């Protein structure tokens, strides 16, 4: 029985390279001269420290730019709340999404079932397994899921006949 998996994986090596590029640019840019702004990667989260809200916004744009330059989807970044840090600075944690969250998985499963496609969908941890009798049904399902507009990058892997 043909099947495939729907997953959401972000290449952390590329995220590391993007953060290094942002740090390099912050140290070289004229508008960041004398600023204590910084970006670092800790345990799957990007920690942004900025002097004020304007610098924080500029660092946001840099992070998004460098992530897209690395051929990653910027929707994999989940910007958290701004918090006060020592010395009148602003700190923000940016979570890098890995895996499909339970509520998004349920939304995808419900949408596929409501579309009356002749496939079965099973949630397996942080990924989905879709199986059906015909390869065409699976390809139709892939096209359908792409049109759902999920705010997370999805990959369709492990296609087996």
Fold equal for 3-8+99-160 and 12-96: yes
Per-residue pLDDT tens for 70-83? 999 888 899 999 89
Cα–Cα distance, 147 to 60 (Å, whole number): 28
Cα–Cα distance, 48 to 96 (Å, whole number): 13
Q: Please determine, for residue 66, whether its predicted confidence score (pLDDT) is greater than 90.
A: yes
SS (H, E, C) 98-151: CCCCHHHHHHHHHHHHHCCCCEEEEEECCEEEEEECCHHHHHHHHHHHHCCCCC
Per-residue pLDDT tens for 15-40? 999 999 999 999 998 988 888 888 99
What's the DSSP call for residue 43? Answer: T
Tokens of 103: 């509520």
The matching CATH number, chosen from 3.30.70.990, 3.30.70.1400, 3.40.50.170, 3.40.190.10, for 12-96 is: 3.30.70.990
Please state whether beta strands 45-50 and 38-42 pair in parallel, antiparallel, or not at all (unpaired).
antiparallel
Q: Where are the domains of the chain?
A: 3-8+99-160, 12-96
Q: Tell me which fold the domain 3-8+99-160 belongs to.
A: Alpha-Beta Plaits (3.30.70)
């Amino acid at each position: 029985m043909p099947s495939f998996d729907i997953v959401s994986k972000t290449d952390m090596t590329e995220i590391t390279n993007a953060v290094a590029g942002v740090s390099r640019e912050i140290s070289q840019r004229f508008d960041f001269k004398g600023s204590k702004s910084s970006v670092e990667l800790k345990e799957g989260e990007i920690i942004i420290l900025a002097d004020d809200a304007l610098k924080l916004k500029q660092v946001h744009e840099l992070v998004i730019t460098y992530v897209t330059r690395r051929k990653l989807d910027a929707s994999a970044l989940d910007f958290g709340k701004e918090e006060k840090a020592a010395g009148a600075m602003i700190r923000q944690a940016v979570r890098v999404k890995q895996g499909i969250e339970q509520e998004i998985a349920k939304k995808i499963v419900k949408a596929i079932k409501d579309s009356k496609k002749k496939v079965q969908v099973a949630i397996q941890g942080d990924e989905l397994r879709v199986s059906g009798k015909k390869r065409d049904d699976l390809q139709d399902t892939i096209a359908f899921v792409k049109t759902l507009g999920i705010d997370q990058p999805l990959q369709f892997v492990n296609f087996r006949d």
